[in-house]
């Protein structure tokens, strides 16, 4: 099915699209393909390059960034292809997202090859330049993601639950991206020392201590990468949760009620937001994700209770509808 390339406005480009009109966003798919290659290169680096940087294998960061950006790019390429309105604006937003992440990854890999830190590094004029470029591209990335997320709110899907899952996932994703800026704030010790590293992901210690395998998140102190990562990938995880519900509906009839699925999406989003808030609070207190204290466990318990109440209320809504239908049946 072909679509018009007329300017946005009263054109067929902004009208409702037919079922065969999905178009993957080319630049984002190109970015995803590039990340698959850099991911493989990073695996090679992990196997062949024994260097370490800030307490971790030097190729660990390029590998993690490659995987995360690949998932992010494929998700936005699909979402933008699904849009029924404002496709041209969405295409440009997606193109800006892909360009900024290309630049970000190029900076990470170039500094890895040099054996230097990419983030927070102001040791030399070149390092300072690289970090300044990365900071600028991150800000542009956030703005482009904001534009794309806003467009999602003006292009509903046929299924209300799917529409809600995508919209709420995009909002929480923006929050997660925003939380990354917390890492750019210099610590009191850095300000006092006036050093060449300005910013950190560890709270309560310098970067480079013991971390969780592969992820590298601190096992002894707070780590701001956790809320950034968890929040950013709400864009995938909330719609994925709905997909699992839809699959379960083949065996559980009550889940076929769209009102039940909408309620479950709201529950998932509220619980997910609570988790993002909890891991942010935990990190800012300098507490490791693997060493929660009583307050953290209490808050986690409250989130579990909210999840249970939300699921029960959503299912009850479906049962009440079924009961009402049975009562008026001939």
What are phi and psi for residue 91, nearest 5 degrees? -60, -45
- Lowest pLDDT segment from 157-161, 242-246, 310-314, 319-323: 319-323
Look up residue 292 and give its DSSP letter.
-
pTM (2 d.p.): 0.84
pLDDT of 120 reads 85
If one counts every other C-beta atom within 10 angstroms of the C-beta of residue 51, the result is 10
Burial readout 92-118 (b: 16 or more C-beta within 10 A, e: otherwise): ebbbbbbbbbbbbbbbbbebbeeebbb
> For the chain, what percent of residues have pLDDT higher than 90?
64
pLDDT of 81 reads 85
For residue range 185-232, list pLDDT tens digits in order: 877 766 766 677 778 888 888 888 888 888 889 999 999 999 999 999
- The mean pLDDT of 85-89, rounded to a whole number, is 88
pLDDT of 296 reads 96
pLDDT higher than 50, residue 7: no
pLDDT of 10 reads 32
* CA 286 to chain CA centroid, nearest Å: 23
């Amino acid at each position: 099915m072909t679509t018009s390339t007329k300017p946005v406005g009263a054109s067929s480009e902004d009208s409702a699209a037919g079922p065969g009109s999905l178009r993957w966003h080319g630049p984002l798919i190109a970015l995803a393909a590039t990340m698959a290659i850099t991911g493989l290169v990073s695996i090679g680096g992990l196997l062949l390059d024994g260097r370490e940087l800030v307490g971790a294998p030097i190729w660990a960061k390029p590998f993690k960034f490659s995987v995360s950006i690949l998932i992010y790019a494929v998700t936005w390429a699909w979402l933008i292809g699904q849009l029924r309105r404002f496709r041209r604006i969405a295409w440009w937003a997606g193109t800006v997202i892909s360009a900024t992440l290309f630049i970000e990854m190029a900076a990470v890999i170039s500094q890895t090859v040099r054996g230097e830190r990419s983030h927070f590094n102001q040791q030399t004029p070149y390092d300072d330049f690289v970090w300044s470029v990365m900071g600028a591209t991150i800000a542009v990335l956030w703005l482009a993601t904001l534009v794309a997320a806003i467009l999602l709110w003006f292009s509903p899907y046929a299924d209300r639950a799917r529409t809600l899952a995508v919209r709420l996932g995009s909002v929480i994703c923006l929050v997660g991206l925003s939380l990354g800026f917390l890492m750019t704030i210099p610590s009191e010790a850095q300000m006092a020392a006036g050093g060449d590293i300005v910013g950190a992901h560890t709270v309560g210690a310098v970067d480079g201590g013991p971390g969780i395998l592969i992820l590298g998140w601190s096992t002894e102190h707070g780590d701001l990468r956790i809320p950034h990562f968890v929040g950013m990938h709400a864009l995938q995880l909330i719609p994925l949760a709905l997909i699992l519900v839809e699959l379960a509906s083949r065996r559980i009839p009550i889940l076929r009620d769209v009102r039940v699925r909408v309620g479950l999406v709201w529950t998932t989003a509220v619980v997910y937001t609570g988790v993002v808030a909890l891991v942010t609070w935990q990190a800012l207190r300098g507490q490791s994700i693997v060493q929660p204290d009583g307050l953290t466990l209490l808050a986690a318990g409250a989130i579990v209770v909210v999840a249970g109440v939300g699921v029960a209320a959503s299912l009850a809504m479906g049962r009440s509808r079924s009961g009402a239908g049975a009562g008026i049946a001939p």
